[in-house]
Amino acid sequence: MNHSSNEKNKIVECLKNSLRHSVSAHNSQPFQLKYFSEDKIEVWAMRDRLLGEADNENKAFYASLGTLFESISLSLCKLSAPYDVALVDMINIPNEIELLSSIFLVAVFKIYPSQSRTDEDKELCQMLEKRFSHRGEFEKLKYELPALIDLQSCRIHFIQNKMDKKNIAKIYDEINYKFLSKKNYAKELYTWMRLFSNHKNWSTDGLNRQALNLSLIEAIGAKLILSTFLHGVLKKIKMLKPILSEMHYTAHAPAIAVITGQSTNAFDAGRGMMRGWLALTKLGLYGSSMSALLDTEFSRTKILTYVNSSDIAIYGIFRVGHLPADKQFFERIRLPSEITFQEIRN
């Protein structure tokens, strides 16, 4: 497709921004884009950024790919002429990540001229720069939330009943502890924590303490629990579970937002989750992902009973509210585009 130099530069900028806005577990940012002059996009993945313990079935990986695809689609709304992106091919990768090359092709996308973009697309495009998360306590809502938001490919349900939130908080704590109590899981999580500014990757990737809004005391506690013998000791004396508990934050959140849809495909779930999160942003809400609730059949089935929906899948679940006035927001750290993006001119 022939583009003017100015239009080509804008497409490149859209693709770079899409990488910055997409979501990945532990902020691992596994993808690299290669953009060809015929508007083909190859998505490559970096093996050392895959999560062997937290994502041993690659579901979060393909959900992250879905958020990247949706980010590209919505970013293209910024162009003066209507364009969109299509999925041309997606490669299934083995669960045994050691079998993979250090960098490998995972998908091919194609940018194409679109008849038009919907008002919803254009509105959500404006939210890409504003989508933020917050893991701590929220302020009370300043307005009433609707019971349901119906989007093009998903729906958002809000749970505000106190007892329902408390019950969900219990389920979340149980499942979260199931993973965090595993030594190898905790070890892998710690490798992605950037708790102190002297960490070599403090400004490039992972879970930065500032972005998580952790105090220095909380950071020291996380280091001791996740990376030392204390993990096993606390587990043995049954103190690890109460220390890791997020019961208070979940049960007292102004609302729990559940994003649902009709597809059980991880890629589609990632697309829907991204779209739903941007719709939450449009409402002025910060979100804290409770993705552990998506990891068991029991929790997924149970959560669906709280939303009274005909949908068969949960794309995302968040506790949501307003950022406290005394909290400063720090954006998640992103890899430089020199690593994640390459334009290939034929």
CA–CA separation, 246 and 169 (whole Å): 7
CA–CA separation, 100 and 343 (whole Å): 24
**CATH classification at residue 298:** 3.40.109.10
Q: Name residue, tokens 């990540």.
A: 97
pTM of the model: 0.94
Residue 186: inside a domain, yes or no?
Answer: no
* Whether residue 166 sits in one domain with residue 89: no
* Whether residue 125 sits in one domain with residue 153: no
* Whether residue 68 sits in one domain with residue 158: no
* Whether residue 62 sits in one domain with residue 36: yes
Residue 99: inside a domain, yes or no?
Answer: yes
Pairing mode of beta strands 341-344, 31-36: parallel
pLDDT for 331 equals 73
Q: Count of domains in the chain?
A: 2
Question: CA nearest 81: which of 151, 8, 19?
Answer: 8
Provide block-wise average pLDDT over 10 residues at a time, the chain (346 residues): 80 92 91 93 94 90 96 94 94 80 94 92 94 85 91 95 96 94 92 92 88 86 88 90 92 96 96 97 93 93 91 96 80 85 84
pLDDT for 269 equals 97
Please report the beta strands in 64-180, taking only residues with DSSP state E, as ranges in sequence order. 83-90, 103-113, 148-150, 155-159
CA–CA separation, 285 and 13 (whole Å): 27
Return all residues near 265 (Cβ < 8 A) that are at least 6 apart: 62
* Whether residue 88 sits in one domain with residue 46: yes
Return all residues near 7 (Cβ < 8 A) that are at least 6 apart: 79, 80, 81
Residue 312: inside a domain, yes or no?
Answer: yes
* Whether residue 101 sits in one domain with residue 19: yes
**CATH classification at residue 19:** 3.40.109
Q: How many residues comprise the chain?
A: 346
Q: Is 23 exposed, middle or buried (0-12, 13-18, 19+ CB in 10 A)?
A: buried
Residue 217: inside a domain, yes or no?
Answer: no
Residue 37: inside a domain, yes or no?
Answer: yes
Q: What is the dihedral of CA 179, 306, 252, 319, to 10 degrees?
A: 60
* Whether residue 275 sits in one domain with residue 156: yes
Return all residues near 297 (Cβ < 8 A) that are at least 6 apart: none
Residue 212: inside a domain, yes or no?
Answer: no
* Whether residue 163 sits in one domain with residue 66: no
Residue 291: inside a domain, yes or no?
Answer: yes
Residue 188: inside a domain, yes or no?
Answer: no
CA–CA separation, 261 and 21 (whole Å): 22
Q: Is 193 exposed, middle or buried (0-12, 13-18, 19+ CB in 10 A)?
A: buried
* Whether residue 170 sits in one domain with residue 56: no
pLDDT for 1 equals 65
* Whether residue 127 sits in one domain with residue 263: no
* Whether residue 91 sits in one domain with residue 171: no
CA–CA separation, 76 and 69 (whole Å): 11
Range of the domain at 36: 5-131+335-344
* Whether residue 277 sits in one domain with residue 162: yes
Q: Is 56 exposed, middle or buried (0-12, 13-18, 19+ CB in 10 A)?
A: middle
